[in-house]
Amino acid sequence: MGITAPSRCTDIDWLAEGPIGPYVAAFKQFLIDHQYAVFTSANYLADVKHFARWVRGRRLSLQRINEAAVVEFLDEHLPTCRCTGPVPHDRRDHRAALRNLLTVLRAQGAIAPPPVSTRPVDEELQSYDEYLAHARGLAAKTRSGVVRIVGRLLTEHFGDHAIDIASLRPVHVRRFFAQQAKLYSKPAGAGSVVSALRGYFRYRASLGDAVHGGLVNAIAYPRQLAVVLVAQDADRRGG
């Protein structure tokens, strides 16, 4: 299968000037080997080009291209991107493309393997991922999205400390959701946050943990988002 990108995506020669350039051919081959559709492959190449431009602008070395760099790009650059020319801005496509890019770079021995973390949050996420796989039978792609959302909440609230689920209150969840909802351009994205968090709270309750009674219903699906934001604003004014 060949990859024919739209005209706005084919001009990637300048990538040779940055650290990602030598691995573009391997990235293309990865897409071919995994039988990605032509249009999807073209989009992913455009996403990598966008990321590579940011990497070069930040003067990042190849060794600094990792999950942390991808998160910074997605969370800080992409929402306020002012790059010149027609560049893609779809967060989901970028995330998928850059996850594949890291896989290729590691397969080529270009960057280090992901670090093994022993943070309580990471151990919790690993346990939850195993539960979703074996007890719920969820596919890897679905689990990845759910675990990522739950991880954001736990990291924001607990950082590197032990997880005390009983300390979470509805106000914490509503504030987190209001922040996360801004990252999604479509209601379905915000809805995935609601589903992921509710599922996690039910999981913790099923383990016998002292989950605050209002957590599951602390946030609503997108059609009720206005009500949630009003409640969040009231919580803020109340202290």
pLDDT in 10s for each residue of the chain, 239 residues: 444 343 344 444 556 678 999 999 999 999 999 999 999 999 999 999 999 999 988 999 999 999 889 989 988 899 889 988 888 999 889 999 999 999 999 999 999 988 776 789 988 998 898 888 888 888 878 888 899 999 999 999 999 899 998 899 989 988 888 888 777 666 667 788 888 999 999 999 888 887 877 787 777 665 555 444 445 455 556 54
- In this prediction, residue 66 carries a pLDDT of 92
| Same domain? 150 vs 217 | yes
The tally of domains found in the chain comes to: 2
Length of the chain: 239
Contacts for 176 with CB less than 8 Å, ≥ 6 apart:
152, 153, 156, 157
Whether the Cβ atoms of residue 145 and residue 192 lie closer than 8 Å to each other:
yes
Among 72, 107, 142, the domain-final residue is 107
Whether the Cβ atoms of residue 190 and residue 184 lie closer than 8 Å to each other:
yes
Among 67, 86, 107, the domain-final residue is 107
| Same domain? 36 vs 89 | yes
CA distance 110 to 20: 10
| Same domain? 33 vs 135 | no
| Same domain? 78 vs 140 | no
- In this prediction, residue 64 carries a pLDDT of 93
**What stretch of H or E contains 42?**
helix 38-58
The tokens describing 126, both together, are: 């690993």
Question: Which three-class secondary structure state does DSSP give residue 60?
Answer: coil
| Same domain? 232 vs 129 | yes
Q: Is residue 115 part of a domain?
A: no
| Same domain? 100 vs 173 | no
CA distance 223 to 7: 38
Amino acid at 142: T
- In this prediction, residue 239 carries a pLDDT of 47
pTM recorded for the entire structure: 0.50
CA distance 36 to 103: 15
CA distance 68 to 98: 12
| Same domain? 128 vs 228 | yes
Q: Is residue 113 part of a domain?
A: no
Among 55, 75, 107, the domain-final residue is 107
- In this prediction, residue 236 carries a pLDDT of 55
CA distance 136 to 198: 14
| Same domain? 128 vs 68 | no
- In this prediction, residue 86 carries a pLDDT of 85
Q: Is residue 11 part of a domain?
A: yes
Instruction: State how far Cα 111 lies from the chain centre.
Output: 20
Q: Is residue 1 part of a domain?
A: no
CA distance 52 to 108: 17
Q: Is residue 26 part of a domain?
A: yes
| Same domain? 15 vs 61 | yes
Burial, 229: exposed, middle or buried (Cβ in 10 Å; 0-12, 13-18, 19+)? middle
| Same domain? 96 vs 185 | no
Q: Is residue 53 part of a domain?
A: yes
Question: Which three-class secondary structure state does DSSP give residue 139?
Answer: coil
Domain of 83? 7-107
| Same domain? 232 vs 139 | yes
CA distance 235 to 227: 12
- In this prediction, residue 121 carries a pLDDT of 92
